[in-house]
């Protein structure tokens, strides 16, 4: 069995039309960034009902060396999907990000290099320019999350939702102990890492790619994530997030 230096977990649910061609272009950029190390993509199909059929799988397997595809029929949520992919990894270092690579590709290398400097968890931090690309509702939700993280969770940095993170084998244990299946698994993960006395959490700045398109966030999702935040806060107060 081949041993990889790095594995990149990418959850996908109902991707956009003709996404595979764009993905392959991004993958060639990854190859040039990681020319000095061996890496593998771990794709998690989170119950997609469109644009992830047998033809797509065959194309990915033909174009992406060593790719591993994890698939299940029912949509479970991003948190569940990331954990499912992470559970399949064997490399010393793991990154996870969205299938459309929302940040400049060099950020992936920055995250990996930071992990190599004895960091257990690396968190991507979005700059103010990022928020200029958001619609009003998403901007308000993002800013609200940052405020709640600062005031209630006391996280040293307030941005936990960038969508690009990495971890070592120690950090992997935190990820696999998260329980939230939707988007706030990120916050749960970061909070858990900070509450561990023996873990090193580092950050990197991430830059949004110019052509990224954001999906709409429903009020149902916002309500659900509000309840998830309350769960994180309660467990944090009572020490239930500590590993």
Q: What is the pLDDT of residues 123-148, one digit of tens each?
A: 999 988 888 778 888 888 888 899 99
165-167: strand order across its sheet: 68-72, 39-46, 6-12, 93-96, 165-167, 121-126, 201-206
| Torsion angle of the four alpha carbons 86, 89, 95, 97, in this order, in degrees rounded to the nearest 10 | -50
Do 62 and 26 contact (CB within 8 A), yes or no?
A: no
Question: pLDDT tens-digit profile of 166-220?
Answer: 999 999 999 999 999 999 999 999 999 999 988 999 999 999 998 887 877 788 8
pLDDT computed for residue 139 by the predictor: 85
pLDDT classification of 2: cutoffs 50, 70, 90: confident
Could you count the other beta carbons within 10 Å of the beta carbon of residue 113? 13
Question: pLDDT tens-digit profile of 5-42?
Answer: 999 999 999 999 999 999 999 999 999 999 999 999 99
Quote the CA–CA distance of 169 and 172 in Å, as a whole number. 5
Which domains are assigned to the chain?
A: 1-101 (3.90.550.10), 118-243 (no CATH)
Percent of residues, the chain, with pLDDT higher than 70 = 99
pLDDT classification of 80: cutoffs 50, 70, 90: very high
Instruction: For 223, list phi and psi in degrees, rounded to 5.
Output: -65, -45
Quote the CA–CA distance of 137 and 141 in Å, as a whole number. 6
pLDDT computed for residue 221 by the predictor: 86
Q: Residue 242 pLDDT > 70, yes or no?
A: no
The closest of 164, 181, 156 to 130, measured between CA atoms, is 164
Q: How would you classify residue 22: left for phi > 0, otherwise alpha for psi between -120 and 50, otherwise beta?
A: alpha
């Amino acid at each position: 069995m081949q041993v990889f230096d790095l594995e990149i977990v990418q959850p996908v649910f109902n991707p956009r039309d003709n996404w595979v061609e764009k993905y392959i272009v991004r993958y060639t950029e990854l190859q040039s960034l990681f020319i000095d190390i061996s890496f593998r993509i771990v794709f998690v199909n989170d119950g997609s009902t469109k644009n992830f059929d047998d033809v797509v799988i065959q194309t990915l397997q033909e174009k992406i060396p060593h790719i591993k595809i994890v698939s299940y029929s029912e949509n479970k949520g991003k948190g569940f999907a990331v954990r499912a992919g992470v559970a399949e990894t064997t490399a010393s270092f793991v990154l996870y990000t969205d299938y459309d690579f929302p940040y400049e590709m060099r950020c992936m290398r920055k995250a990996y290099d930071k992990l190599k400097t004895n960091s257990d968890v690396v968190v991507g931090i979005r700059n103010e320019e990022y928020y200029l690309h958001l619609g009003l509702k998403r901007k308000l939700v993002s800013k609200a999350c940052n405020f709640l993280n600062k005031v209630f969770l006391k996280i040293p940095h307030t941005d936990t939702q960038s969508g690009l993170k990495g971890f070592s084998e120690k950090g992997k244990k935190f990820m696999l102990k998260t329980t939230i299946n939707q988007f706030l698994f990120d916050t749960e993960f970061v909070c858990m890492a900070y509450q561990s006395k023996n873990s090193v959490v580092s950050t990197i700045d991430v830059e949004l790619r110019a052509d990224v398109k954001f999906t709409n966030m429903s009020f149902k999702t916002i309500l659900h994530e509000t309840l998830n935040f309350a769960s994180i806060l309660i467990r944090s107060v009572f020490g239930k997030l500590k590993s």
